[in-house]
Amino acid sequence: MSVYQTYYRESIENPEQFWAEQARKITWYKFPETILSRTRAGFYRWYEDGLLNTCFLAIDQHVAAGCGDRVALIYDSPVTYQKKSYTYSELLEHVSTLAGAMQAKGIVRGDRVVIYMPMIPEAVFAMLACARIGAVHSVVFGGFAPHELAIRIDDAKPRMIISASCGIEIDKTIEYKPLLDEAIEQAIFKPEFTVIVQREMATATLQEGRDIAYTDFIRNAQPAECVPVRAIDPLYILYTSGTTGKPKGILRDHGGHAVALQFSLEYLYQIQPGEVFWAASDVGWVVGHSYIVYGPLMRGCTTILYEGKPVRTPDAGAFWRVIDEHKVNVMFTAPTAMRAIKKEDDDGKNLQRYDISSLRRLFLAGERCDVATYYWASNLLGIPVIDHWWQTESGWPMVAPVFGTDQPAIIPGSAGKPVPGFDIRTLNENGDPLIANQEGFIAIKLPLPPGCLPTLYKDDARFVSSYLEHFPGYYLTGDGGYLDENNYLFIMGRVDDVINVAGHRLSTGEMEEMVSGHKAVAECAVIGMADELRGQVPLAFVVLKDGISISEDEMEKDLTQLIRKNIGAVACFKNAVLVKRLPKTRSGKILRRIMRNITDGEHYVVPSTIDDPYILTEIHDALKRRALGIAFKTITLS
């Protein structure tokens, strides 16, 4: 039996013993006596009576072990021409001072703190400072517009918000403070105070009595010690797109998170303490939480905080420069980043300028990795390129083709096999198990392993309705796909209203709510349209109210502005098509899937329940008119 088979079987047949053993690999103030238990609501939780501190694991333990001089964090910012390294001792000083300042302002265990920051070291300090004193952080991606930030403020009710005067997007300075002010204005809940990192590229105007400059905030602060917290206490809330305008507050607890990340770095990413790990993502996404901040630091690695893009900062050799300069051993990014490099430098000329021999493996996730991108990257780099699958809810990989000392067994197009702890099944719509190669809903048999969401923040009912009630005894992932005869998982895409734009998870349901709010719109459907660079981009089909006259171009312009203003430029909303009607079933359900099939030029089957098949011809015609470059396929009538 391979190492993988041994571990996998043990994790499924005897999860308590398996995860008790893994828990021994981290340091606890009190090792848990209860490994797996259930709440009154019936939800599973891990290590209920354990006591620990995540910041201690990420920093203090390494300093105490004599590794204080090891580099913990490298800030590399091609957009500001800055580079800075922090040893574990220096990181401790920054984090404990900030934590002390927070305590002095009355922030205590359980208080929420929103972090709305660009990719600067203070963002990492802030996350770790919260963890140190048991405060619960909620990082909001800096590319989100005020409306999105306001929704999160109203849900998390933070006593404090930490932000910066600006972020830099290639050569544009994005002033964050006016966005923050607008969000606080829009939110019903008001934070007590904000802390603003003043960056030299743009200085923010501070509001007397509410805003404090970061440097003033930490001046004279006494360093705070780590506060022991319960394993089941929340470390953070990370909002992610669901099917409606209200994002879901994914909760992460301390104990399961620490054990799961340690396990993943040891057995999946296979990185050793002292080595360099680089996740080229953003602290606003789960990848940033798990693999820029917490995971690599807990493992005693050097982690890289990169404030740049794969291209144009300054060129398509940007990633190779970082790998060479910081001697990166293992890297993680989204396939879209590879596609961006490929688009500008298909034959990899830029690579010749750098020595990337330190790099052992490149991991890709966040969206589907198309086979062409997989081959391009692996041929160019000559190392294993590893697609793996997970989501904000899981917090760490659920499926991967690597484990321990086994050789990576990669099948291009598949994200690999279930990771130990994840009992992955494919089910039909009645919840019956499917046989190999049959496509259906991807679900996970409960209990989920440590590290996965225990529930949604203050919303047990939505946790049940979103994930648990479809198939009793299973967690519904929201993805569709199939397992082959060797248990390799092939992801075919989301089965709900979530789309993935350049690795950013967004809700078309939320966009529909906004588009419907336009005064000329009677009804609409927003779908994800295939895009060569970004994987998907949104496309709106709009039915106008009777008697309204507005041109298609004008409508597209209006909606583009609307989505930019309310969600953010990151949604890349640029396309709208006017149609007379939307295809629906006789019971009135909009047939979004068929619209997606038509738009992506895929073969599709017209369901017998369709109200009027002729509408599909109108959809074809409308798309042709907009010249979206679609190669239409034939229709089959069922």
Whose Cβ is closer to ligand AMP: residue 98's or residue 444's? 444
Print the binding letters for residues 521-540 with ligand COA: x by CB under 6 A, - otherwise: ------------x-------
Does residue number 337 form part of the binding site for ligand COA (CB under 6 A)? Answer: yes
Q: How far is CA 277 from CA 254, 272, 281, in A?
A: 22, 9, 12
> Omega of the bond prior to 314 within 30 degrees of 0, cis?
yes
Phi/psi for 323 (5° steps) reads -60, -45
- 140 binds ligand COA per the rule CB under 6 A: no
CB-nearer residue toward ligand AMP: 60 or 479: 479
- CB nearer to ligand COA: give 84 or 343: 343
CB nearer to ligand COA: give 98 or 338: 338
What is the full DSSP assignment across 569-637?
Answer: GGG---EEEE-S---BBTT--B-HHHHHHHHTT--EEE-TTBS-THHHHHHHHHHHHTT----PPPEEE
Count the site residues for ligand COA by CB under 6 A: 26
- Within 281-340, the residues that bind ligand AMP by CB under 6 A are 286
Structural element, H or E, at residue 256: helix 254-267
Query: Is residue 387 part of the contact set for ligand AMP (CB under 6 A)?
Result: yes
240 binds, among ligand AMP, ligand COA, none (CB under 5 to 8 A by kind): ligand AMP
Give the whole-angstrom CA distance, residue 605 versus residue 428: 18
What span, in angstroms and rounded, lies between the C-alpha atoms of 354 and 334? 21
> For ligand COA, which residue of 158, 167, 245, 247 counts as binding (CB under 6 A)?
167
Residues 464-503 touching ligand COA, rule: CB under 6 A, are 502-503
Strand partners, 160: 113, 193
Crossing angle for the helix pair 88-104 and 121-133, to the nearest 10 degrees: 60
**DSSP per-residue letters across 517-531:** TSTTEEEEEEEEEEE
Please identify which residue in 367, 510, 531, 600 interacts with ligand AMP, judged by CB under 6 A. 367
**47 conformational bin, left if phi > 0, alpha if psi -120 to 50, beta if neither:** left
Q: Is 169 in the site for ligand COA (CB under 6 A)?
A: yes
- Shorter beta-carbon distance to ligand AMP: residue 342 or 388: 388
> Please, what is the minimum distance in Å from the beta carbon of residue 498 to ligand AMP?
7
The yes or no reply on residue 143 touching ligand COA (CB under 6 A) is yes
Q: Is 95 one of the binding residues for ligand COA (CB under 6 A)? A: no
572: contact with ligand COA by CB under 6 A: yes
CB 514 within 8 A of CB 459: no
Three-class secondary structure of residue 336 per DSSP: helix
Q: Nearest approach, Cβ of 495 to ligand AMP (angstroms)?
A: 9
Nearer to ligand COA, 167 or 249 (CB): 167
Report yes or no: 132 and 92 within 8 Å, Cβ to Cβ: no
Residue 494 contact, options ligand AMP, ligand COA, none, Cβ 5-8 Å cut-off depending on partner type: ligand AMP
Asked if 139 interacts with ligand AMP (CB under 6 A), we say: no
Instruction: Kindly state whether residue 316 participates in binding ligand COA, applying the rule CB under 6 A.
Output: no
- The CA–CA distances, whole Å, from 50 to 19, 31, 444 equal 13, 5, 26
Given the rule CB under 6 A, which of 282-290, 445-453, 510-518, 581-589 is the region that contacts ligand COA?
A: 282-290
Residue 304, burial from CB neighbour count under 10 angstroms (0-12, 13-18, 19+): buried
Q: Of 126 and 400, which has the nearer Cβ to ligand AMP?
A: 400
Interface residue with ligand AMP among 44, 376, 389, 490 (CB under 6 A) is 389
Residue 500 engages ligand AMP in binding (rule: CB under 6 A): yes
Cβ proximity to ligand COA: between 311 and 610 the closer is: 311
Of positions 120, 128, 258, 287, contacts ligand COA by CB under 6 A: 287
- Binding residues for ligand AMP, total number by CB under 6 A: 19
Among 505, 518, 534, 596, binds ligand AMP (CB under 6 A): 505
Tell me which residues in 363-382 interact with ligand COA (CB under 6 A): 366
DSSP character at residue 366: S
Please name the residues in contact with 352: beta carbons below 8 A apart, sequence gap of 6 or more: none
**Lookup: tokens for 6:** 């041994």
3-state SS string over 287-310?
Answer: HHHHHHHHHHHHCCCEEEEECCCC
Least distance to ligand AMP from the beta carbon of 492, Å?
A: 9
Q: Count Cβ neighbours within 10 Å for each residue of 94-129 and write b for 16 or more, e otherwise.
A: bbbbbbbbbbeeebeeebbbbbbbbbbbbbbbbbbb
CB-CB contact of 520 with 555 (8 Å):
yes
Binding site for ligand COA (CB under 6 A): 142-143, 167, 169, 174, 280-282, 285, 287, 309-311, 333-334, 336-337, 340, 366, 502-504, 533, 569-570, 572
Binding site for ligand AMP (CB under 6 A): 240, 286, 365-369, 387-389, 391-392, 415, 478-479, 491, 494, 500, 505
